Amino acid sequence: MIILNEETRCIVQGITGKQGSFHTEQMLNYETSIVAGTSPGKGGQKFGPVNVYNSIAEAKEEQEINASIIFIPAPFAKDAAYEAISQLDLVVIITEHIPVHDSMQIVEYAKRNNTTVIGPNTPGIISPGVGKLGIMPTHLFDKGNIGIVSRSGTLTYEVAYQITNAGMGQSTCLGIGGDPVVGLNYADVLQMFEEDDETGAMVMIGEIGGNAEERAAEFIDKNISKPVIAYIAGVTAPPGKRMGHAGAIIEGESGTAESKINALKQAGVNVASTPSGIVDIIKKIL
């Protein structure tokens, strides 16, 4: 497994909001180590077994915390991210629709502080058998040795479910986020899987728009020895049309499904033509 492990102790920023409270309950049910929450002005309250604090600094006076998951609305997410990045090792930003210039500042600030940021606009991360910091439905996942990294939440769920159904499981599944600017990128995560003893092969799920997959292909070619299986969504999308994700816009030749698939194949990656084809490829190569 990578990033999320038995030592991860997490605080939920925005724990009393609708999304925060719902997903905190789900994470606790999955036995994730959620040790505190923040909600300014509501310090001293409790959410189930979890103490609520006004700030991370206040929580750290009483709890050992090294990670955060953010369910703060977009206009306030940058402040919440800065608060977490300045004090913690791992920050997972679930929030959608964060302005691009805010995301750029968040990612730059994280680099300066040597903090790992997943997202924004991510379903989060799950290590089956250990816990999840995110919003993914846990029944789709099972412990195993396939690492999954994806830009799409729903496709992650679909592929994970098919891998689980085939009697294989996952080491860690991570959504890097669908926005143009995100913290961890494909190469970062693929390198972690490469170095992880519990990951035997990795699945990379991409989509049209941007050049993240082409950059990943270059990285795989030079740095990755374990098997990589890829799937690119959006083969039938018309050029120039804006898709659901902010990052999924095609400009000229770059960012098309075809250019991504060709780059990955040239790097020796096994590219599936459908999500269900991923399992067939895994069975052949493992």
Catalytic residues: 245
Q: Under DSSP, is residue 121 helix (H, G, I), strand (E, B) or coil?
A: coil
Distances (CA, A) of 270 to 40, 58, 78, 104, 245: 48, 49, 38, 32, 25
Pairing of strands 170-175, 124-127: antiparallel
Pairing of strands 228-233, 270-272: parallel
Whose tokens are 């939440």? That residue is: 153
Phi and psi at 221, nearest 5°, equal -55, -40
The tokens of 71 are what? 């369910």
Radius of gyration of the chain (CA): 18
Distances (CA, A) of 101 to 64, 98, 156, 180, 225: 32, 8, 27, 11, 36
How far is the C-alpha of 162 from the C-alpha of 174, rounded, in Å?
A: 16
Identity at 152, one-letter amino acid code: S
Phi and psi at 164, nearest 5°, equal -60, -45
Q: How many helices (H) and strands (E) does the chain have?
A: 9, 14
How far is the C-alpha of 236 from the C-alpha of 239, rounded, in Å?
A: 9
How far is the C-alpha of 94 from the C-alpha of 16, rounded, in Å?
A: 15
